[in-house]
Amino acid sequence: MAFRLRTAHTADLSPAVLRSVRAFLDAAFDGGFGDDDWDHSLGGMHALVHDGSGLAAHGSVVMRRTRLDGRWLRTGYVEAVAVRADVRRTGLGGRVTAALEGIVDRAYDLGALSASEQGAALYAARGWHRWDGRVHALSPDGIVRLPDEEGSLHLRPAPAARPLDPRGELVLDWRDGDVA
């Protein structure tokens, strides 16, 4: 089976393609993909893999601001990575992630994502580092700790970045829904 990988900015995807991606993500996450999740996946670059049956895998990377070691960094935040059930465990998640990593490495100071328990192994195998420090967000009421996000956040430093200090404070910019 031939798989075709395409990367495109949200602005370059037609309304019909965006509707098909949303339907794909709703199915892939078995109803656990809400409107805020969809909103979080828009406004950046998408990696889409198609086969003869249609969309087989998707992921996106959007820009966020993250404060680490006292500096606000342009962060490529990976969102909405999913593979169609009939082609899971065939390497498509890795292909999508590799395409997104290339974007992160070329355009951002840092990569970040929140991984499920099932997805964490993929990212660890690809060199993403689980953030073992505290996670915070710059909320409308000031900086608040996000203990529920601790342990699921993974970072990918830019190739020329200095090593990350896991004792440091990581602060994410605010957004509606799940902040991380």
pLDDT for residue 160 is more than 70:
no
SS3 category, 36: helix
- Tens of pLDDT along 12-41? 999 999 999 999 999 999 989 999 999 999
| Contact of 55 with 49, CB cutoff 8 Å | yes
Q: What is the pLDDT of residue 58?
A: 98
Mean pLDDT of 73-90: 95
38 three-class SS: helix
Distance CA 45, CA 7 (A): 7
124-145: average pLDDT: 92
Condensed to tens digits (0 to 9), the pLDDT of residues 94-122 reads: 999 999 999 999 999 999 999 988 889 99
pTM, two decimal places: 0.94
pLDDT of residue 107: 94
Q: Range with the lowest mean pLDDT among 1-10, 128-137, 167-176? A: 167-176
Note the pLDDT of residue 119. Answer: 85
Determine contact, residues 79/60, Cβ cutoff 8 Å. yes
Residue 71 pLDDT > 90: no
Rg (CA), the chain: 16
**Domains, in order of start, for the chain:** 4-173 (3.40.630.30)
The contacts of residue 98 (CB under 8 Å, 6+ apart) are 126
Residue 180 exposed, middle or buried by CB count within 10 Å (0-12, 13-18, 19+): buried
Q: How confident is the model at residue 162 (pLDDT cuts 50, 70, 90)?
A: low
How far is it, in rounded angstroms, from Cα 55 to Cα 91? 15
Cα dist from 56 to 3, 42, 77, 91, 95, whole Å? 8, 19, 21, 11, 11
Q: Give all strands (DSSP E) within the chain, no chain letters.
A: 4-9, 45-51, 54-68, 71-83, 110-114, 129-130, 135-139, 142-145, 153-157, 170-173
* Residue-level pLDDT at 118: 82
pLDDT at 141 exceeding the cut of 80: yes
